[in-house]
Amino acid sequence: MSGKYSLPRAVSGKRSVGPSPLFMGALVVWGLPFLGWVALIVIWLSVSSSDPKPETETKTAQTVEETQAVNDAPSAGTEESSGATSQTEPVEGAPSDVAEQPAPSATPGVIAAAPYNFQGAKSQLGLKMENACNTGILVDPSTRKVLWAKGADRAVPIASMTKMMTLLLVEEAIAEGKIKRDTVIPVTEAAYRIGGSQVWLDPRESFPLNELLKAIAIKSANDAAFLVGEYLGEGDIDVFVARMNARARELNMTHTSFYDAHGLGDKQKRSNLASAHDMVLLAERLLNYKEVVKLASTRMDTFRNGKMELKNHNDLVFQRVEGVDGLKTGYTDASGYCVTFTCVRGGRRLIGCVTGFRRSKDRNTFCRALLDWGYSQPRE
Active site (catalytic) residues: 160, 163, 220
Per-residue exposure over 221-237, b if at least 16 CB sit within 10 Å of its own CB, e if not: bbbbbbbbbbbbbeeeb
pLDDT at residue 259 is higher than 60 = yes
User: What average pLDDT does this structure show over 169-184?
Assistant: 97
H or E stretch at 230: helix 222-232
In sequence order, the β-bridge partners of residue 94 are none
Query: Residue 372 falls within a domain, yes or no?
Result: yes
Q: Which of 38-52, 201-215, 345-359 has the lowest mean pLDDT?
A: 38-52
Query: Residue 11 falls within a domain, yes or no?
Result: no
pLDDT at residue 214 is higher than 50 = yes
Give the chain's count of helices (H) and strands (E). Answer: 13, 11
Query: Residue 37 falls within a domain, yes or no?
Result: no
User: What average pLDDT does this structure show over 16-23?
Assistant: 49
Q: Which of 44-53, 87-96, 129-138, 211-220 has the lowest mean pLDDT?
A: 87-96
pLDDT at residue 224 is higher than 70 = yes
User: What average pLDDT does this structure show over 247-271?
Assistant: 94
User: What average pLDDT does this structure show over 173-190?
Assistant: 97
Query: Residue 12 falls within a domain, yes or no?
Result: no
- Taking alpha carbons only, the member of 4, 3, 7, 2 closest to residue 22 is 7
pTM, to two decimals: 0.71
| Range of the structural domain that residue 316 is part of | 130-376
User: Distance between CA 52 and CA 39 in Å, rounded?
Assistant: 21
What is the reported pLDDT for 362? Answer: 97
Which range has highest mean pLDDT (93-97, 103-107, 192-196, 352-356)? 352-356
- Taking alpha carbons only, the member of 341, 346, 339 closest to residue 376 is 346
pLDDT at residue 109 is higher than 60 = no
Query: Residue 277 falls within a domain, yes or no?
Result: yes
User: Distance between CA 112 and CA 287 in Å, rounded?
Assistant: 10
Q: Are 230 and 188 within 8 A, CB to CB?
A: yes
Amino acid occupying residue 25: G
pLDDT at residue 184 is higher than 50 = yes
Q: Which of 32-46, 137-151, 302-316, 319-333 has the lowest mean pLDDT?
A: 32-46
- Tell me phi and psi for residue 310, to 5 degrees: -115, 120
- Taking alpha carbons only, the member of 87, 289, 263, 47 closest to residue 181 is 289
User: What average pLDDT does this structure show over 99-105?
Assistant: 37
Query: Residue 200 falls within a domain, yes or no?
Result: yes
Query: Residue 98 falls within a domain, yes or no?
Result: no
Number of domains in the chain: 1
What is the reported pLDDT for 75? Answer: 33
User: What average pLDDT does this structure show over 126-150?
Assistant: 97
CATH of residue 299's domain is 3.40.710.10
Query: Residue 315 falls within a domain, yes or no?
Result: yes
User: Distance between CA 268 and CA 93 in Å, rounded?
Assistant: 30
Coil, helix or strand at residue 271:
coil
User: Distance between CA 106 and CA 90 in Å, rounded?
Assistant: 15
What is the reported pLDDT for 298? Answer: 97
Encode pLDDT of 3-19 as tens digits: 433 333 433 344 444 55
Q: What is the crossing angle of helices 163-175 and 237-250, to 10°? A: 90
